[in-house]
Structure formats: structure tokens, C-alpha cells
Amino acid sequence: MLKKIDKAQLFLEDHLHLFQCPVCSQAFESVENHQVFCRGGHQFDLSKKGTLFLLQKSVPSEYSRDMLLARQRLAESGLWTTLLDKIQSLIKHPEGVLLDIGCGEGSHSAYLKKKGHNGPIIGFDISKEGINLAAASHEDIFFLTADLARSPFASLQYDTLLNILSPSNYSEFDRLLKKDGQVIKVVPNPGYLKELRSLQKESKQSYSNAQVVEKFEEHYSTVRKVSVKYTFHLPDELVEDFVHMTPLGWHIKEDFDNIRTKLKEITVDLLILIGESEDSA
Ligand SMILES: [Zn+2]
């Protein structure tokens, strides 16, 4: 049984061309003794868990380990299954390289891998805590801590860019995406987690995704939109995890016995945006 760090080294040996140096943007040249070297002489160490840390400096994360564990338990309970099955059916290149942008604790990537995405999957997030948990929990995916604004990925190498409920950077997306690649972005629809919103004391403005969708449509010559809406039966023991899962719930002060009676069912209402560029045809 290979150690995680050795598995990660083997992955990098085979896929070094997918990455570039986050400092000087030159290609990665070699990987040996659990270290990666770029042509400009920068060097990065693989962690014991088999991840790379490629941030220029640590970013304080709003995502605590408790919150990440809550997300992981919810994912394991099947909260995202319907969404992810839909996404999988939309992926044009299941043998291609998929980059999960803002992968958090890695549950989405892990599900897609388990369900048969044959190509390599790379997941990254700016949260080191998230990446540590992802790498500890899942096999066969390469996870790294990195910043989308200075992303350590090589140009024109990615068949699928997956961006689930996480910020985008379209100029980076353009740089990374292969000519016939797909960007699959998931944004909330107005009904998303409405049961949780209704618990908030402050008068909340109803959420609209119009601006995000408009920006996406401006950017890609071909855009498909697929809505996914379903009700998830929330088991009592996951109610607390659910409330802690997103910033929406962080300010809720209500007693959990009360909340449990109100959160029996959760509405998952999301919009999948699939973008392809003109010269992809
Ligand atoms: Zn470099």
C-alpha cells in the first residue's frame, strides 16, 4: 500500500504538465524526493497527506474545521447527490481532466470520481483546512491549496472547469480551459435553502442570481442553463451541521430543539450554467 505522499508524487510525475509555478508562472520541471521544482528554481514540498501548498502567503480562512466536518457529513448523507448526478450527465469529456475550483473538503470531486469520471480530477481551494480534510478523506484525487487569482495551473490543459457555489475568475478560466472544454458553474436559485433563510431574524432581501448569470452569459458564446430543484429530508442528527454549513446559518440564535421542528425538509434549488467558447465547435 503506497503512502499518500508517494501516490501524490506518482500523480505529479505523470501530470506535471498540468501545473505551473505560482511564483514565476514557468512550467514545473521535475518532481523528486517529494519536492516539485519549477524552471525558475522555485521549490515546493509535498505534504504527508500528499497535497501541495501553493499560496504565496496563508490566508485566514472563515471556514473552521468544524464547519468543514459538518459539510462533509451532509455530503455523505446525500444532500448533493441529485445535483452531482445531473452534473455528471452534463460533462462532455468524462475521460478528460477536471479541475474542481473551490473544492472545499472535496466531497463533490470524490463523488464524481466514485461515479465514474475516468479522467484525472484535481481539486483546489484557498482553505488549507479544507484541503487537509479533503486529502485525508478521499483517494484518487489530487488536492492542493491555491489561489484562483494566482493559479498554479498550466494554460489550455483542462477539459472541465467545475465551479460549485464558489467565486469565478473568467480570465483565469479562459487561460486554463482547452479549446473544446466546458465550464460548469453552479449558482443558487432564489429558493435555495429557503427554510434556513426563513429562520433569520433580520429582514432578508430575497436572493437573485441575475447578475451572476448575466456575467456568465456575456462571457461564453454558448450557454446552457439547467435548473435542479429537489427536497432533501434532513435527519435530526444533521440539523446542527446543516445550520453551520453556510454563512446563512452562522447568525441564527434560535434554540436547536426549535430549529429541528422547522428544518425537516430542505429545498435545494440550484442553477447549473454550462459555458463553452466560440472556437470550441
Ligand atoms: Zn517558479
**201 has pLDDT over 80:** no
21 assigned ligand-binding residue? yes
Instruction: Confirm whether 106 is domain-assigned.
Output: yes
What per-residue confidence (pLDDT) applies to 202?
A: 65
In angstroms, the CA 192 to CA 187 distance is: 9
Cβ partners under 8 Å of residue 175, min gap 6? 155, 156
Instruction: Confirm whether 236 is domain-assigned.
Output: no
The pLDDT tens digits of the residues spanning 237-281 come to 999 999 888 777 777 777 888 888 889 999 999 999 999 986 644
Considering the domain architecture, whether residues 102 and 167 belong to the same structural domain is answered as yes
What per-residue confidence (pLDDT) applies to 200?
A: 76
The pLDDT tens digits of the residues spanning 138-161 come to 999 999 999 999 899 999 999 999
Considering the domain architecture, whether residues 121 and 87 belong to the same structural domain is answered as yes
Element counts in the chain: helices (H) and strands (E): 10, 11
Q: Which domain holds residue 150?
A: 56-189+208-226+270-280
Residues, beta carbon < 5 Å, ion ligand 1 = 21, 23-24, 38, 40, 42
| Domain CATH code at residue 152 | 3.40.50.150
Considering the domain architecture, whether residues 33 and 142 belong to the same structural domain is answered as no
What's the rounded mean pLDDT across residues 163-178?
96
Considering the domain architecture, whether residues 32 and 135 belong to the same structural domain is answered as no
What's the CA angle centered on 71, arms 198 and 131, to 5 degrees?
A: 140
103 assigned ligand-binding residue? no
38 assigned ligand-binding residue? yes
Q: How far is the CA of 19 from the centre of ligand 1 (A)?
A: 11
**217 has pLDDT over 90:** yes
Q: How far is the CA of 43 from the centre of ligand 1 (A)?
A: 7
265 assigned ligand-binding residue? no
Q: How many independent structural domains does the chain possess?
A: 2
42 assigned ligand-binding residue? yes
Q: How far is the CA of 38 from the centre of ligand 1 (A)?
A: 5
Q: How far is the CA of 41 from the centre of ligand 1 (A)?
A: 6
In angstroms, the CA 34 to CA 53 distance is: 13
Considering the domain architecture, whether residues 44 and 142 belong to the same structural domain is answered as no
